[in-house]
A and B are shown apart, each in its own frame.
Chain A
């Protein structure tokens, strides 16, 4: 059984922007784009798949935990969630899924264009982070700093996401 919770973030203008913007390098999925929370059987490696994705404003990101032996979160780098550094666009809200057990899912709609960085609470120090580009962003953008080194190392570049649309790590 899959349990899903959903939040809508930054709704203003999202639908109009979604209709106006289409780009081959954006995720081809429909209105909901899925990101899997995954891990090896012994828990030695954990990751978001894809780790980087580009979507249209107004699309919904759906995280689902498919790791049978662990709990994960999707938590935005935002002062509203544990007073972490803001790594979402100005005007965009943060989010925190809370712990998702295997089979559980959480959704947010992202409508403010820009770069969104997020992490898994128990696995940030193991580099379990993800990056979403909504619409367009400066390929050289996203300053670093203020995060564990393992997290900073793991992010795909904005340029790679802009060019490929979806970035995976094996």
Chain B
């Protein structure tokens, strides 16, 4: 995946930094994660496995921001993703205390996405990788 920005996301996410140091929640370590998470491709018309992201799960109550949990083809968690509409990056809107649901974070990518079913407006993907940078290849295709 093309790296767009890997610094500053923890600041952007407010209270996330503390959560990043937490231990991995075993209930989400492998897919499918425990309820209330549901497979995204069964909620909206998207491919079951999205190149660059993986197989996604989300608690529908948290849409559109997430967190989305992303798994590789071996059903192992690789990242926690937030999807923040560009229009919501405004003075009267905040996203505080978002949790890194997948546990310890190795590095963070932030990049623009034009939209897709489920979040049908331009938005930012904030990807909290739980694997080293070399591990991104596990969901590349």
Chain A contacts to B: CB under 8 angstroms:
39, 41-46, 68-71, 99, 101-102, 121-123, 125-126, 128
Contacts and interface: CB of A to CB of B under 8 A. Distances in A.
A123 B50 contact: no
Nearest to B114: A126
A104 B121 CA distance: 22
Interface of B is mostly: loop
Choose among B44, B111, B122 the residue with the greatest number of A CB atoms under 10 Å from its CB. Answer: B122
23 contacts: A39-B114, A41-B52, A42-B4, A42-B52, A42-B113, A43-B114, A43-B125, A46-B114, A46-B115, A68-B47, A68-B141, A69-B51, A69-B53, A70-B47, A70-B50, A71-B45, A71-B117, A101-B45, A101-B46, A122-B116, A122-B117, A123-B120, A126-B114
A42 B117 contact: no
Contacts of A41: 1-2, 51-52
Interface residues of B, number: 23
A125 B123 CA distance: 11
Contacts of A69: 47, 50-53
A61 B7 CA distance: 45
A50 B114 CA distance: 19
Contacts of A99: 45, 117
B55 to A, nearest CB: 12
A101 B1 CA distance: 21
